Structure 1
Amino acid sequence: MRTTLLCLALVAVVAADRIPGFVVPGKCPAVDERMLYSQQKPNFQRASTWYEIALTNNPYQLIKQCVRNEYTYDGTKFNVRTTGTDANGNAITRNGQVLPNPFGEPHLSVDYEASWMAPYVILDTDYENFSCIYSCAGHNFGYYADFAFIFSRSPTLADRYYRRCEAAFMNIGVDPSRFSKTAQVLPAPTTPTTGLGRNISKVHTLYAYTCYKNKDCATRIFSTQSNSPIVKGNFNPDRI
């Protein structure tokens, strides 16, 4: 990947006279981006929902649990809405975009609010089940920072697809042990016996507490349950 000025890292170095822990000596690994970019077209297939299954250490990822990404294609780029909960269980939303690299490099770029534009390289995907994303940025002092993600079309990912991502990352020298799993289901209490939650199976209760603090997410989950007594627009997670 071409060298990109890692602005925040440079600011941290100057201000604190030290290098952030996620910035390490060396350079970004060699990735055949042009081949990957060609193989993965048309990229509009990436549209719709992707759940974060695992990621490497990323201090800029403020959403810690139930991370759900909604990609909407507008003909030139993807508008992205990411929802979930922070480390304290509070609902949080971030908006951004994934678009062709503005400098003509053969990969997509990701640009979230209150952040900087970074490479968005799809190492492997079938667009229907899984996606392995890598982002690496270097700067002029012989250091680089990289972040990696494993996404799924559902809140869980079959082991065979997870292993494909591990293989893709190992192929460019990224150690799979760097990944930590992202919780997609928060702890659920027993099946409620009163209120709107009554008569709902334990499975539904578990799903209700997925993204518990994110009422919009929970409402959609319940509205898609065919045998749920809850109808869209009437579900309030706080009443369970």
Structure 2
Amino acid sequence: MLKALLTAALVALVTADSIPDFVAPGTCAKVANQNNFDLHRYAGRWYQVQIIDIPYQPYTRCIHSDYDYSDSVNGFRVTTAGFSPNNEYIRLQGKIYPTKDFPPAHMLVDFPSAFAAPYEVIETDYDSYSCVYSCIGTDNYKSEFGFVFSRTPQNSASAISRCASVFRRNGVDFSLFSAVPHTSECVYRA
């Protein structure tokens, strides 16, 4: 059912009068997921340090998320925040959780302001980096996003280096990623 819902959403986008910029010809990469994924160890604060740009994401800098594990959703209640291009501090809340259709590292993003999307943890050490892939594809079109998360915004070079290698190994073009600015002006209060 999840796959049908995601496919229907992408088909609606592709068949609209104009194709959105984030939909491109091609197929989603077949990425490996983290073995023996531990939801409890994944909980906590993560900072987006590199991403494939998401045009409908309202923030562009200082992006950080708090993942609070919840038994009731068998996943996370997530609060993500950052600054918009207009310097407005924006905070959104949603859920990220595994489904019975996939292994635990292949979760679903469920935020009120966006359509449901996959959240695949390709690799993480839980303490310093997480490489996450999200892609919906149908009829040789894809809507592809990737994230490099770090536990700290300042010392993220090792996370970026590690995830660059992981994404390339899994067939994801790392040249599509761009840096998420984390400057002294950032406020982290998700």
Tell me the TM-score normalized by structure 2.
0.87
Looking at structure 2, the residues matched to 182 and 129 of structure 1 have their Cα atoms a distance apart, in angstroms, of: 17
Partner of 1:224: none
Is 1:74 aligned with 2:70?
A: yes
For 1:40 and 1:181, the matched residues in 2 are separated by: 29
Matched, 1:174 2:172: yes
Q: How does 1:99-110 map to 2 (within 5 A)?
A: 99-101=97-99, 104-106=101-103, 107-110=106-109
Structure 1 runs of 4+ off > 6 angstroms?
none
Residue 38 of structure 2 aligns with an amino acid whose one-letter code is P
- Higher-Rg structure is 1
Q: How does 1:144-183 map to 2 (within 5 A)?
A: 144-183=142-181
Match of residue 51, structure 1, among 41, 47, 50: 47
**Paired position in structure 2 for 1:197:** none
In structure 1, runs of 5+ residues without a counterpart are 186-205, 218-240
Q: Secondary structure at the match of 1:5?
A: helix
> Normalized per residue, which structure has more strand?
2
TM-superposed deviation, 1:138: 0.9
TM-superposition CA deviations, 1:57-108 (whole Å, max 9, x none): 211211111111011011211000011111100111111111012x512211
Equivalent residue letter for 1:133: V
Count of residues in Structure 1 that have an aligned counterpart in Structure 2? 183
- CA-CA distance at 1:6 after TM superposition: 5.2
Identity of aligned residues (%): 32
CA distance in 2, matches of 1:41, 1:170: 21
2:147 maps to a residue whose letter is F
* Mapped contact 1:56–1:179 kept (Cα < 8 A): yes
User: 2:24 aligned with 1:24, yes or no?
Assistant: yes
Matched residue, 1:111: 110
Give me the whole-angstrom Cα distance separating, in 2, the residues matched to 1:160 and 1:52: 14
Q: Where does residue 5 of structure 1 map in the other structure?
A: 7
- Once residues 13 and 31 of structure 2 are traced to their aligned partners in structure 1, the CA distance between those partners, rounded to angstroms, is 28
- Distance in 2 (CA, whole Å) between partners of 1:78 and 1:64 is 23
Q: Flag the 1:6–1:153 CA change in 2: closer, same or farther, 3 A.
A: farther
Assess if the C-alpha contact under 8 Å between 1:12 and 1:19 holds in 2.
yes
CA contact 2:14–2:23 (8 Å) conserved in 1:
no
Between 103-112 and 87-96, report the one with greater CA deviation: 103-112
Q: Which secondary structure does the structure 2 equivalent of 1:210 belong to?
A: coil
Q: What are the ranges of 5 or more consecutive residues in structure 2 without an aligned counterpart?
A: none
C-alpha change, 1:11 and 1:125, in structure 2 (3 Å) is same
Q: Aligned partner of 1:73: which letter? A: Y
Q: Which structure shows the higher helix fraction?
A: 1
* SS, match of residue 11 in structure 1: helix
Shift of 1:21: 2.1
Q: Distance in 2 between matches of 1:119 and 1:86?
A: 24
Distance 1:100 1:12 in 2: 25
TM-score, scaled relative to structure 1: 0.70
Name the CA shift for 1:48/1:27 in 2 (closer, same or farther; >3 Å).
Answer: same
Higher relative CO (CA 8 A, sep ≥ 6), structure 1 or 2? 2
Per-residue Cα deviation, 1:125-178 (whole angstroms, up to 9, x for no partner): 100001111001112x22111100111111123423311100111012212111
RMSD, matched Cα? 2.0
